[in-house]
Structure 1
Amino acid sequence: MDLNPPKQQLEADESIVEVSIIMPVYNASCWLDECLQAILSQDFTGSMELSVFDDASTDESIKVLEAWREKLGARGISMLISGHKSAQPRGVGYAKNRAISQSHGKYFCFQDADDVMLPQRVRLQYEAVLCHQTSLIGCKVQRLPEGSTERYTRWINNLTQEQLTTQVFTSHGPTVIMPTWFCSKKWFQEVGSFDEGGKGVPEDLLFFYQSLRQGGGLARVDRCLLVYRYHEEATTHSVTEETIWKLRVDFLQERVLSCWENFTIWNAGKQGRKLYRSLSRTNRNKVKAFCDVDENKIQKGFYTYEDAKERPKPKVSIVHYKDASAPFIICVKLDMTAGSLEENLCSLQLKEGVDYYHFN
């Protein structure tokens, strides 16, 4: 199925399109009217197009999209719609890449079909990207239903500009979350395309890390510009924790641990030990101690890596955090200790991104 406008028309329009809204679609008919109305209501005065790729929807998504073509056209927003009717969807990465390949904008605004952009989104992120040509630009969000994923939403919205970079190893995923991405076409092409591995592949995190590897920046418009919907059918639920864990460990070793001579793992419990076991032998040998606040763990005195191939089996001491020395990898979940973790870190007068990084 190819519902694109004629090639001649696209070539004529190509030079004047400032922003392409990139939208993969899969069985999104119940969300699309609200999503498209929000695109229609943007206060951006430059040229826009909506580039959609339908990933084998079995509902009325295409019908709903086509019903909006005339309304969007009257507003000056052209629609590019293509897709396939295979028995199975090919995944979000595949759909995004196809939507991008048919688009003509100088800048990309990524939009999930189940989310709703506020009227200022395109304008404010466009203004930001003009100053950050090699960055992924995000924004604050409103979670719907209200109160769902409360800690995650608070984390998204409260990160400082510095923490967009320092907290890229945390389990929450990209610090600039995919549904808010805005970037230049030139930078996207420099980084490369999304992974097309399909269901269970975190294509956003893979691209995010690759962008950082190539020197890309991160920035955020500090206003709520997107209603970010939570529901059980969201594709993010198909990605396993173990897949994300491995990607994070590998990136941490590459970007941080390779530069440190030694370090302390803050948490002698399950998560800290799991990190230790996940490290390469070289980086395990750099771990000088675990630290904790739990007296039972501290009194035990050490952790033995029973499954290690080395003989004798590695033993790592466990000390109170006040007796430990930087740098640290923090394996305690943020916003889960009634502020005690944050107070303890503050008491040591440490600098995030220099003396410690959060991993959980």
Structure 2
Amino acid sequence: QYQSPDASKLLTGTSVIMPMYNASCWLDECLQAILHQDFTGTMELSVFDDASTDDSRNVVERWRERLEARAISVVVSGHNSAQPRGVGYAKNKAISQSCGQYFCFQDADDVMLPQRVRLQYEASTLHPNSLIGCKVQRVPEGSTERYTRWINTITQDQLITQVYMSHGPTVVMPTWFCSRNWYLKVGPFDEGGKGVPEDLLFFYQSLRQGGGVARVDQCLLVYRYHEKATTHSVTEETIWKLRVDFLQERVLSQWESFTIWNAGKQGRKLYRSLSPTNQKKVKAFCDVDDNKIQKGFYTYEESKQRPKPKIPVLHYKDASAPFIICIKLDMTGGVLEENLNSLQLKEGMDYYHFN
């Protein structure tokens, strides 16, 4: 349960919110980077240890004196249960013991650049009802290349239009910065534990509440990829269902009819995942594959309707907007992007990406 901090201690500055679980091998680099922030406002580090079995807590304590010498106050707590309670729980606990009016979320295995807190604090004071992100440097270099390119190159408009993509939040959780007031309006984080995408759930809830999304267009975080990252515990099916539901709620509920761009596996899967009401709105599939187009129709075999629904399959040039595009970006050597550009459509009005 969220507890408001003691009003007499409430700061005007920033709390770095750090959930921690078996992070001792990364903590020295992480904490040194917090020490070297060029932010001149009040700063606090709030760490919650989620039942680590290594010496993570000791490592943080070893840094306490140096951090406090730089006027960065340190709050550390945790629990020693047999099992960790999960990232959502640890974030909520770190927040409830903190005092800052702004939150800078920091994963214990990542490294912030010296200007991160200052630049994101400035952006957050201008956009108090937004989640603020930044560009990242991915290490090891070359890991998740397409994902990293997407994080760093989508436009400010696409931070809103591309929220249905399989990549998850358009500003990635390890880069988040927001006001305490906004967290209180949206949160807390889901505490379901392992396998729950607490970041995507919070992100969608923030959008439902009318929140904005913004990005500082500088690289302010070294974002580490490794096999033990909690991201790997979330299944694709869990994410898929959340995205479909959000797409139906935010977009398809506003449209009278639409075309699914991709008559293959992903397009048909999206069709089958829709509510009966939204299935009826699908006027066609479109594609560039002659074999699919020549078949003429996709028949929905699992339908209880009689006769079974038969959806036309058209060439994309013969199909009409709006479209839901179920083809991965950056995978066709630019062909998809060229085809889209040739139709002179507007993203967020005539089409949305869903892959």
- Specify if TM > 0.5: yes
SS at match of 1:130: helix
1:211 to 206, 209, 224: 206
SS at match of 2:346: coil
2:21 to 26, 41, 48: 26
2:98 to 79, 91, 103: 103
Find the aligned partners of 1:343 and 1:85 in 2 and give their Cα distance. 55
* Structure 1 unaligned regions, length at least 5: 1-9
Partner of 1:127: 122
The answer to whether 1:267 aligns with 2:262 is: yes
Partner of 2:275: 280
Residue deviations 1:119-177 (CA, integer Å, cap 9, x gap): 00000000001110100000000000001000000000001000000000000000011
Q: CA RMSD in A?
A: 0.9
Residue deviations 1:246-286 (CA, integer Å, cap 9, x gap): 00000000000000000000000000000000000000000
The percentage of aligned residue pairs carrying the same residue is 81
Find the aligned partners of 2:193 and 2:167 in 1 and give their Cα distance. 20
Find the aligned partners of 1:99 and 1:314 in 2 and give their Cα distance. 52
Partner of 1:157: 152
Quote the offset at 1:312 in angstroms: 1.3
Find the aligned partners of 1:169 and 1:228 in 2 and give their Cα distance. 22
Find the aligned partners of 1:132 and 1:11 in 2 and give their Cα distance. 25
AA of the residue aligned to 2:255: W
AA of the residue aligned to 1:228: Y
Find the aligned partners of 1:334 and 1:172 in 2 and give their Cα distance. 11
AA of the residue aligned to 1:235: T
AA of the residue aligned to 1:238: S
Counterparts of 1:168-187 in structure 2, within 5 Å, are 168-187=163-182
Partner of 2:68: 73
Q: Would you say the 8 A contact 1:109–1:181 is kept in 2?
A: yes
Quote the offset at 1:192 in angstroms: 1.8
Residue deviations 1:218-243 (CA, integer Å, cap 9, x gap): 00000000000000000000000000
The answer to whether 1:357 aligns with 2:341 is: no
SS at match of 1:220: strand
SS at match of 2:126: coil
Q: Would you say the 8 A contact 1:202–1:244 is kept in 2?
A: yes
AA of the residue aligned to 2:171: V
Find the aligned partners of 1:105 and 1:221 in 2 and give their Cα distance. 21
The answer to whether 1:314 aligns with 2:309 is: yes
Quote the offset at 1:310 in angstroms: 1.4
The answer to whether 1:51 aligns with 2:46 is: yes
Find the aligned partners of 2:165 and 2:9 in 1 and give their Cα distance. 39
2:191 to 192, 196, 211: 196
SS at match of 2:269: helix
SS at match of 2:192: coil
AA of the residue aligned to 2:170: T
Find the aligned partners of 2:311 and 2:148 in 1 and give their Cα distance. 36
Find the aligned partners of 1:302 and 1:12 in 2 and give their Cα distance. 64
Partner of 1:141: 136
AA of the residue aligned to 1:107: Y
Q: Would you say the 8 A contact 1:139–1:223 is kept in 2?
A: yes
The answer to whether 1:301 aligns with 2:296 is: yes
SS at match of 2:206: helix
SS at match of 2:301: coil
Residue deviations 1:168-201 (CA, integer Å, cap 9, x gap): 0000000011000000000110112000000000
Partner of 1:326: 321
2:239 to 224, 237, 244: 244
Partner of 1:7: none
* Structure 2 unaligned regions, length at least 5: none
Quote the offset at 1:56 in angstroms: 0.3
Find the aligned partners of 2:269 and 2:11 in 1 and give their Cα distance. 52
* TM-score, scaled relative to structure 1: 0.96
Find the aligned partners of 2:146 and 2:271 in 1 and give their Cα distance. 26
Find the aligned partners of 1:77 and 1:290 in 2 and give their Cα distance. 57
AA of the residue aligned to 1:76: A
